[in-house]
Chain A
Amino acid sequence: MHQALRVLNELVEDGVIPLYAIGGAIAASFYIEAQATADLDVFVVLPKAAAGLSLLTPVYAACKAKGGVVEGEHIHFGSWPVQILDPYKPLIEEAMASAVEVDFDGIPTRVMTAEHLCAICLDTKRTKDIFIEQAAVDVEALKGILQRYNLLDRAALVPNWPEQVIHGNRPNPA
């Protein structure tokens, strides 16, 4: 994963992309125990074409020039297939903007916050309650995001979610 992160940082330095943030299971694993996945999901603010469509071509070309191998929907860097994703909705845009700067083995990178990852899980109906179970989220912040994007009803569908997520008040960690 080191090579992929170095290349992503270089893309930002070279001005190919303005910003990126890691999402998905790899980002979740920053906050909670390791989550199985086959690829690294990277959200990238893509350059726009005249018609407003997002352009992947310049990003793919730059990745290939830096040693990436395109295979289907992934760009492989070493053993890691990277999926470049466009922030396709306001929730993802907010998650990208509020991603936090972290360090991976000395390489600076950005990961989405636990609250945003949790909200994206709910939005995509992958209703995992592991973030709550492992006390990895700030319940008030999560509640705010769910309210902003009309996702509170999704939280109510998840078994074992504390009432506090839906109705406020911090959970008792004990």
Chain B
Amino acid sequence: MAIDLTQLERVIADKAALRRRAREQSWPEKVAMIERLRDTTRLAREAMRRALAEADKRNQGNPSCLAHAKWSPPC
């Protein structure tokens, strides 16, 4: 598949503009952004932890689930 250079250039230009805008923000604006990112990351982490715990509970006693397969020492 041929690469569309015009599209690539547009993506690079967009990214550069995004970074330029990010740099031009005031310090309080940047801190507010950091705060939003931090809170979103924490929420995502908590949701993932909950989902893993639920999956773990569902798979308890399921012999086909590797996480709960019994390990036997080698002979």
Q: Please give the residue numbers on chain A whose beta carbons come within 8 Å of chain B beta carbons, in ascending order.
A: 1, 25-26, 29-30, 32-38, 79-80, 102, 104-105, 134
Query: Interface of B with A (CB < 8 Å)?
Result: 19, 22-23, 25, 27-28, 30-31, 33-35, 37-39, 41
Q: Which residue of B lies closest to A40 (CB)?
A: B31
Cβ-defined contact, B27 with A36, below 8 A = no
Contact at A37–B19, with CB atoms within 8 Å?
no
Known: A32-B23, A37-B34. 15 other contacts (CB 8 A): A26-B31, A29-B30, A29-B34, A30-B30, A33-B23, A33-B25, A33-B30, A34-B30, A35-B34, A36-B38, A38-B38, A79-B35, A79-B39, A104-B28, A134-B23
CA distance A134 to B24 in the complex (A): 11
Write the chain B residue with the least CB distance to A35: B34
Task: Name which residue of chain B comes closest to A29, CB basis.
Answer: B30
Q: For B35, what are the chain A residues with a Cβ–Cβ distance below 8 Å?
A: 1, 79-80
- 25 examples of A-B residue contacts, CB within 8 angstroms: A1-B31, A29-B30, A29-B34, A30-B27, A30-B30, A32-B23, A33-B23, A34-B22, A34-B25, A34-B30, A34-B31, A34-B33, A34-B34, A36-B34, A36-B38, A36-B41, A37-B34, A37-B38, A38-B38, A80-B35, A102-B27, A104-B27, A104-B31, A105-B28, A134-B23
